């Protein structure tokens, strides 16, 4: 099975601490590398993770709060100093475009590679990236400013050929692709060999949904239903429920409720308030509702 990994580079919230870095994740999927959000300190975290700068082909910015984007220009500048030549794609809320280009003129002239900005309508659920093996679509979220999450989905792959059956029925190599596409085979004697005897099913497609920052949304579970892994912000435990409501954040209980109602495979919690020196309370509250919950932490790599 092709790798599909989520690297946690930062999982803290707005106030910098010595305990957690600002939000950033790197997604490895089928040989491609993407970044979600780029908080302050991202470059150092990339070096600690031993991920390669040059392999990041796109950055997805969820919203324009500094803990999700202040690291972007430093990283773009470093890409230029390290000799990058391939284009970099930036996907971010459309209101960001003018400020982004102004900042590029101030800090990032003469890079040696191209930057392509893609403005997002955060109120739309829409596919914004697609290639032969995956799609990325936006997830409208509810925060104090325009904000969206991102849903990474593998495309279904062809079934696996049963080599023993191919050899037994002396099926020519030229017919392999047809069989992968669902064709059966007729022998010289006229016997029909069904496709199900010639193949085994491929692994089910995997998916990852990133939802940060947002208040609890009663219908979010419909958008992320059955995803393999859900990252949902859990800035507070229930002791700060009123604060979560005021600042359009979620509690661990609310994140777990989304995971339970969506019937996801696993819940990953993050975006912790600096008020907590230990996130065990957050984890305990989530697991009371959705047992397969895990705390994000810097350096953690989750295999989807």
Q: What is the pLDDT of residues 114-144, one digit of tens each?
A: 999 999 999 999 999 999 999 999 999 999 9
- The pLDDT assigned to 6 comes to 98
In the predicted structure, residue 1 carries a pLDDT above the cut 80: no
Catalytic residue (one of 67, 191, 213, 242) = 67
Mean pLDDT, to the nearest integer, of 141-153? Answer: 98
Q: How confident is the model at residue 109 (pLDDT cuts 50, 70, 90)?
A: confident
- The pLDDT assigned to 157 comes to 86
Full-model pTM: 0.92
**pLDDT tens digits for range 43-84:** 999 999 988 888 999 999 999 999 999 999 999 999 999 999
Write the secondary structure of the chain as one string of H (helix), E (strand) and C (coil).
CCCEEEEEEECECCCCCCCCCCCEEEEEECCEEEEEEECCCHHHHHHHHCCCHHHEEEEECCCCCHHHCCCHHHHHHHHHHCCCCCCEEEEEEHHHHHHHHHHHHHHCCCCCCCEEEEEECCCCCCEEEECCCEEEEEEECCCCCCCEEEEEEECCCCCEECHHHHHHCCCCHHHHHHHHCCCCEECCCCCEECHHHHEECCCCCCEEEEECCCCCCCCHHHHCCCCCEEEEECCECHHHHHHHHHCCCCEHHHHHHHHHHHCCCEEEEECECCCCCCCHHHHHHHHCCCCCEEECCCCCEEEC
**pLDDT tens digits for range 177-193:** 999 889 999 988 888 99
Q: How confident is the model at residue 28 (pLDDT cuts 50, 70, 90)?
A: very high
Q: Is 67 a catalytic residue?
A: yes
Residues contacting 225, CB < 8 A, separation 6+:
262, 263, 264
- The pLDDT assigned to 158 comes to 84
**pLDDT tens digits for range 239-289:** 999 999 999 999 999 999 999 999 999 999 999 999 998 999 999 999 999
- The pLDDT assigned to 201 comes to 87
- The pLDDT assigned to 15 comes to 85
Mean pLDDT, to the nearest integer, of 144-162? Answer: 94
Mean pLDDT, to the nearest integer, of 212-223? Answer: 97
Domain-wise residue ranges, the chain = 4-157+203-303, 160-200
The fraction of the chain above a pLDDT of 70, given in percent, is 100
In the predicted structure, residue 85 carries a pLDDT above the cut 80: yes
Q: In terms of CATH architecture, what is 4-157+203-303? A: 4-Layer Sandwich (3.60)
């Amino acid at each position: 099975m092709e790798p599909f990994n989520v690297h946690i580079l930062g999982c803290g919230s707005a106030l910098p601490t010595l305990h957690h870095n600002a939000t950033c994740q790197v997604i490895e999927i089928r040989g491609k590398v993407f970044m979600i959000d780029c908080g302050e300190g991202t470059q150092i975290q990339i070096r600690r993770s031993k991920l390669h700068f040059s392999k990041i082909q796109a950055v997805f910015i969820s919203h324009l709060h500094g803990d999700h984007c202040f690291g972007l220009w430093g990283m773009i500048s470093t890409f230029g100093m390290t000799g990058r030549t391939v284009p970099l794609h930036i996907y971010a809320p459309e209101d960001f475009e003018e400020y982004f280009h102004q900042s590029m003129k101030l800090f990032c002239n003469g890079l040696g590679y191209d930057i392509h900005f893609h403005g997002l309508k955060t109120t739309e659920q829409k596919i914004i990236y697609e290639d032969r093996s995956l799609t990325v679509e936006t997830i409208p979220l509810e925060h104090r400013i325009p904000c969206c999450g991102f849903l990474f989905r593998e495309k279904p792959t062809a079934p696996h050929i049963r080599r023993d059956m191919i050899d037994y029925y002396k099926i020519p190599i030229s017919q392999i692709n047809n069989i992968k596409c669902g064709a059966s085979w007729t022998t010289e004697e006229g016997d029909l060999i069904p496709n199900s005897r010639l193949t085994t099913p491929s692994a089910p497609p995997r998916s990852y949904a990133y939802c940060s920052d947002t208040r609890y949304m009663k219908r979010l579970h419909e958008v992320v239903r059955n995803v393999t892994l859900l990252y949902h912000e859990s800035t507070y435990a229930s002791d700060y429920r009123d604060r979560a409501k005021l600042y359009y954040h979620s509690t661990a209980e609310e994140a777990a409720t989304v995971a339970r109602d969506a019937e996801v495979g696993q819940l990953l919690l993050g975006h912790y308030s600096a008020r907590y020196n230990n996130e065990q309370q957050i984890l305990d509250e989530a697991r009371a509702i959705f047992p397969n919950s895990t705390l994000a932490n810097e350096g953690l790599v989750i295999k989807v």
